[in-house]
Amino acid sequence: MKSTILVGGLLWLGTTVALCELKLYPTTSERPVWIAGPAGAKLYAHVHTPNVTGRFPGLVMVPGGVGDGRIFDVRNGRSAPEIARRGFVVVHFDPEGRGRSRGKENYNGYRHQDDLALVIRYLAQLPEVDSDNLGVITFSYGITMAAGCLARYRDLPVKYLIDVEGPSNTQNICYRMPTGRLVAPLWREVVPPEEHADFWRERQAVNFIGQIRCRYLRVQKWWDHVHGPYKGHAIELLNTATQAGVWTRCNDNPPNILYDPEHLEKYHWLRTEAPLLDYLEEMATMPAK
């Protein structure tokens, strides 16, 4: 289905995917699995599939903050079982040190990025998964784990990355922008960015986003869930990736454009709940690069 969008004086004939283009399955099945981690720790994961025989696109869901995968079991219009009904095999997991997984909290650094790589490889080898059609969707701070993982493991067969309002660097991880107030005492008390440059080097998505090989879709509302009207984190990630040659898009704006932070009114920012199911289906049905 074609949609015509006028953005900042640019006429873009974009392609959107109607929900009916992927079949809606009446029931799904789910199963817990344990995946051996890189340091011997076992990762708890939960797999959701359409309750029929076939091969389907695969999707890994990465939680925000320092959360675990249980949040994706909660039916809210975009949960793992609801996405599975749309014809995806969905896996979410507890990174090391969280939820049911063993090991030590790593705050989305290299060890958690290694965990995510293992989960992606596990998903790719499932017989019910089309390994040429894998995606990753992240929420908030989860982009730190995914960007680092996909940059460091460039052989992973990931077709697209969807980033829902994730931070780009230590300033917008640790502080509310533009006021400078702490996002949460945790960051300041455990790892002050001014004193732990080595710690944060592996935990800033902007350091990795230009090295990923898959498509990058940013989902950004006008009023960010942490930073209100601030868009600097979105613009930094999008422009860094675009300048590095990564396919990029934000919401329904034209793909592969550079964003002008002085003229935010030129672009389309979501005013209502993000149509994540629509975006997932669109990315999954795009041809391979």
pLDDT at 95: 95
- Parent domain of 261: 19-285
Is 281 within a domain?
A: yes
Look at 15 and 101; give whichever has higher pLDDT: 101
H-run or E-run covering 234:
helix 232-243
Residue 251 near residue 163 (C-beta atoms within 8 A): no
Position 55 pLDDT exceeds 70: yes
Instruction: Tell the burial category of 203 from Cβ atoms under 10 Å away from its Cβ (0-12, 13-18, 19+).
Output: buried
Position 12 pLDDT exceeds 50: no
What value does the mean pLDDT of the chain take?
A: 88
pLDDT at 198: 86
- Percent of the chain at pLDDT above 90? 72
Is 83 within a domain?
A: yes
Look at 13 and 77; give whichever has higher pLDDT: 77
Most confident region among 1-5, 24-28, 180-184, 281-285 by mean pLDDT: 281-285
Confidence of residue 78 (pLDDT cuts 50, 70, 90): confident
Position 34 pLDDT exceeds 80: yes
Most confident region among 4-13, 21-30, 119-128, 187-196 by mean pLDDT: 119-128
H-run or E-run covering 112:
helix 110-124
Is 104 within a domain?
A: yes
What average pLDDT does range 263-270 have in this prediction? 96
Question: Of the given ranges (47-61, 63-77, 204-218), which has the lowest mean pLDDT?
Answer: 63-77
Angle at 16 between CA 12 and CA 21, to 5 degrees: 160
The CATH number linked to 250 is: 3.40.50.1820
> 196-251: per-residue pLDDT in tens?
788 889 999 999 999 999 999 999 999 999 999 999 999 999 999 999 999 999 99
Distance CA 25, CA 23 (A): 6
Is 9 within a domain?
A: no
Confidence of residue 273 (pLDDT cuts 50, 70, 90): confident
pTM of the model: 0.90
Task: Look at the chain and report how many structural domains it folds into.
Answer: 1
Position 18 pLDDT exceeds 70: no
Question: Of the given ranges (17-31, 41-55, 68-82, 112-126), which has the lowest mean pLDDT?
Answer: 17-31
Position 79 pLDDT exceeds 70: yes
pLDDT at 265: 94
Position 5 pLDDT exceeds 60: no
> 148-199: per-residue pLDDT in tens?
999 999 999 999 999 999 999 988 888 777 666 666 655 555 666 666 788 8
Distance CA 46, CA 89 (A): 11
pLDDT at 171: 86
Is 127 within a domain?
A: yes
Neighbour count for residue 21 (Cβ, 10 Å): 13
Return the percent helix, strand and coil in the chain, to nearest 5: 30, 25, 45
